[in-house]
Amino acid sequence: MEATTARGTGSSRRAVVAGTVGNFIEWYEFGVYGFFATIIATNFFSPDGSAGLESLVKTYASFALAFFFRPIGAALFGRVGDRIGRKPTLVLVLLLMTGATFLIGVLPTYATVGAAAPWLLTLVRVLQGLSAGGEFGGAVSVMTEFAPTGRRGLYGSWQSFTVALGLLAGAGLAAILGAVLSADQLTAWGWRIPFLLALPLGLVALWLRLRLEETPSFRRAVAVTGEAPARPGAWQTTRAIAVGAARLMGWSAAGYTFLVVMPAYLQSSLGASFQQALVATVVANAGFAATILPAGLLSDRIGRRPVMLTGTVLIVVLALPLLGVLQDKSSGPLLQGLAVLVAGGAVGLIAGPGPAMLSEMFPTGVRYTGLGLAYSLSNAIFSGSAGLIITALIAETSDVDIPAYYVMATCVVSAIALATLRGDDHRRPLGESA
């Protein structure tokens, strides 16, 4: 019995590591793209080498396009993962993600190949979107299906925690490069370094995933039927996907607004320097990271609903005041740092229980597809478009409060959807919640 328990614990830990490592690479890259948005705008979307609002909007349009390919990737790879297994699908997704990220680091710029440059970048972003769409559903399925009884919230929260780690790693590297390189060096070639590093990171992730076992839930389902697990009706699955996307809407919008779009917003709208903007983003991501695992653990004890509702309500109440602190130049760095720390922490309260909450909404036969689609649809609409919507609206209205209005509106909808969660979903076996 002890040996069996030890093997189970070892498998669970390997599942967390193998599941999160690809997610780390994905969000490291997406963070780097956001942090270097103004430099990418200069190199790929501006014939005259400037980084005005128009070229920045085009950069975010490419950013958003990759997100809109996430649902396609979630449906494609989710179907494969629900039929042949989580492990082989996650290996395929990782190879595509690593290759696409590395390619960004070697792409020619507008100055070299002219108008072909933005199209090449957009094509690679599409490949990244497809792979990212297949990553979340598989990674969360692996972590929650391997999780010990009563620990799905904690195990699933590692997915969100590696989002924070990936964004922090990207921001940290960007900050280091910004400190050691001149502005001209950073624009000319320094921005490529974070993307090139995806190759060695991907090789480590591949080794870890090749050692991963298939999940117990998938193995049991196949053992019962002798084939792929049974799938519920299309309407039931579609409804669950729509509800899941609504529950994540606030997380998607607030997370990207506070954690990724922040540097470009602070620079283009509030006149901050590149280094100041990155420091603020690092602090926000630190607050995000600090609350994720405790929130996941707490949701295993008191339920997903109260923890996630607390996060959404806090964002609705605090978004405008916190943004006002950033806009007030007399606030001082300490108070401004506290503002972004609190903003990130509130997002972490939603992100911690979020993966487990989604996993509990779908049975084994559609879990990879269902939770992947719910997450990717929410991200496509409310994360990928965040930079584009906020930047375009500020350019049109000159209202620098747009980011607060955006996250408040989405969190109100999420709060309504989260209120429909059953209080005992966290105690039910996987496959019995809806």
Written as one string, the DSSP assignment of 140-171 is HHHHHHHSPTT-HHHHHHHHHHHHHHHHHHHH
The 3-state secondary structure of 349-386 reads: HHHCCHHHHHHCCCCHHHHHHHHHHHHHHHHHHHCCCH
Residues of the chain with pLDDT under 50: 1-7, 432-434
Output the pLDDT for position 257: 83
Q: Which helix (H) or strand (E) holds 53?
A: helix 53-68
Output the pLDDT for position 49: 54
Output the pLDDT for position 424: 84
Cα separation, 314 vs 272, whole angstroms: 26
Residue 157 sits at φ, ψ, to 5 deg, of -65, -20
Output the pLDDT for position 434: 42
Output the pLDDT for position 51: 54
Cα separation, 111 vs 46, whole angstroms: 9
Output the pLDDT for position 246: 96
Output the pLDDT for position 352: 95
Residue among 336, 408, 382 nearest 71 (CA): 382
Residues 6+ apart with CB under 8 A from 113: 120
Instruction: Name the token pair of 44.
Output: 């790929």
Contact between residue 261 and residue 388 where contact means Cβ atoms under 8 Å apart: no
Instruction: Name the token pair of 251.
Output: 């997380």
Contact between residue 296 and residue 356 where contact means Cβ atoms under 8 Å apart: yes
Question: What is the number of residues in the chain?
Answer: 434
Cα separation, 336 vs 322, whole angstroms: 8
Output the pLDDT for position 265: 66
- What's the whole-model pTM score? 0.83
Contact between residue 117 and residue 109 where contact means Cβ atoms under 8 Å apart: yes
Output the pLDDT for position 57: 67
Provide CATH code, domain 7-427: 1.20.1250.20
